[in-house]
Every structure is written in C-alpha cells, then in structure tokens.
Chain A
C-alpha cells in the first residue's frame, strides 16, 4: 500500500538531467543573450528630452503671451469710475483676448494638463 506522509523528511529529487548539462549551461545561455547596443541607449534617451524641451519652450511662450494680455488689460479689469461704457469695452476686450489666447494655445497644441504639469515642475 502506497501512502503519502507530508512530514516524511526524506525528499529525493527523482528528476535528472542529461550528462554534463550544467557544465556548459552558463555559456549556452550567454550565447542566446543579445549584445548590448551601447549607441542605442543615448539616442533613446535624447528623444524624450528634446520633446520635453520643445513643450517647455512652447509653454513658456504661451505663458508670456497670457501674462502680456493680462497686464495690457489690467486697467480695464479694475475700472474705478469710468461708467457703463467702459465696462462694456472691458467685456468685449476680454472676450477677444480669451479667444485669442485659446487659439494660441490650440496652435501650440497645449492643453490644460500640459500647463498643470508645467506649473508643477514636471518638465
């Protein structure tokens, strides 16, 4: 009768390997390993870096334009006592500038997430 006792300490490995298998195993495995392409690594690293630089510059220009637009319209944004006519002008100007700003960002292919990442120092 064959029984299985989990607590039996005698555990023999019934598997074997062809003679000399382990003797040249390392050499055989290393033959399969491709050579390291030393020149490939820097090129691969440069690409995302260039890309990031381009996005960084674009965001910088976009941010400058937005700031310029903001300062040009600063007096209009806080009218002190110029009446309704002035307020109407501010609204028109704001709409125009907002539209212009959106177009600029669109041409630069910059979306909000890029701006958030840029402001967070992700570039």
Chain B
C-alpha cells in the first residue's frame, strides 16, 4: 500500500462515517499476507482462519488508538504475531493436558508432521514436509523469526518493529534456527 493511500485511510479511520468502509479496505488489502504469516506458524488452515479473524477483531477494537506513528502494515503484523503466539500457547496447554506431551518431548514435532502430511491443504513433497517438521520443532518465537526472514524475506528492522526484539537478537535467533534445521536434516540421513 502506498504511503499516501495509507495516510488517507488513517484519516478516514478517524471519521466515524467512513471508519467501517476504510477498515474494509484494510481487511481487503492485508488479509492474504496476514493469513500466510499466521498459517506458517499454526500449520492448519482452520486454526489460521480463526487467528486471522481474531487479529482483525482486535485491530478493529483498538483502531482508535492507532495514530499512524508506525506503518499500518507493521501494526497489523504485530497484532497477528501476538495473536498467533497467544493461540499457540493456549493450544500447547490443551495438548499437554489431553496427551501429556511436554515441551521437551522429541516426538511432539514428528506427531505434528504426520498429521500435516494427512492435511488436505498441505501438498508439499518429502523434503518440504521435513523442512516444515523441522520448523515446527523450533520454539514459537524462533519459528516466527525464521518464517519472516526465510519465507517472507522481511528486513530485520521491520521484523524488529513487529516482534519488539532488537535486530541483533533477531539475527542471532535466525542463525540458531538455521543451525537447528540443518542438524534436523542431518539426523534424518
């Protein structure tokens, strides 16, 4: 979205008569990129759809606080990032209670990989399934960093605005994630 368009949209958001229409334009412009950011984190379509809805609901309820200090996209990606982490945390609590899987259980990502392969909305080959299994084994925040850098090719500065983490820490986190994924592949040989 161009800066001028964004500024115009922000002005409309503060006009009660135009607010809803302007928000609809935002949903239209950002729903797809936000969906893919969320989907790479939660893996399943239904979960991604739920988190996306929550993201826009949260954005709508807080839209009056948005003054345009940050880019609209950064603000939305930050909400999506936080909503995703909250979802994953709640999901982990539920899974731990239901199946007694702990955070350091080595079988947990493989269980996820097996169900991912049977997911009708995952059509990756064997290597891609392995890659996503390795990614699923990363801690949530590290996984988010890896996805943003590797798949979305986002700049570290933008990632820093979204995650609230320093550029240095993000770089370290990304390199650690790459190392872990490479080791994961070595273990499969």
Contact = CB atoms under 8 A, between A and B. Distances in A.
A31 to B, nearest CB: 10
A61 B32 CA distance: 59
B150 A17 contact: no
B121 A29 contact: no
Interface string B97-139: 0000000000000000000000001111111111110100000
Contact of A36 (B16, B122, B188, B189): B16
A15 B121 contact: yes
A4 B27 CA distance: 36
A5 to B, nearest CB: 9
Q: Which of A1, A21, A30 has the most CB of B within 10 A?
A: A30
Interface string A50-66: 00000000000000000
A34 B36 CA distance: 25
A35 B24 CA distance: 12
Interface residues of B, number: 43
A4 B185 contact: yes
Given A2-B130, A4-B185, A30-B24, A15 B40 contact: yes
B71 interface: no
Q: Is the contact region of chain A dominated by helix, strand, or loop, or is it mixed?
A: loop
Interface residues of A, number: 26
A3 interface: yes
Interface in B1-58: 16, 19-20, 23-24, 27-28, 31-32, 35-36, 39-40, 43, 45, 49, 52-53, 56-57
B16 A38 contact: yes
Interface of A: 1-4, 6, 11-18, 21-22, 25-26, 29-30, 32-36, 38, 41
Interface of B: 16, 19-20, 23-24, 27-28, 31-32, 35-36, 39-40, 43, 45, 49, 52-53, 56-57, 60, 121-132, 134, 150-151, 178, 181-182, 184-185, 188-189
23 contacts: A2-B188, A4-B134, A4-B182, A4-B184, A13-B151, A14-B122, A15-B43, A15-B122, A16-B121, A21-B45, A22-B31, A22-B32, A25-B27, A25-B35, A26-B24, A26-B31, A29-B27, A30-B23, A30-B27, A33-B56, A33-B60, A36-B19, A38-B16
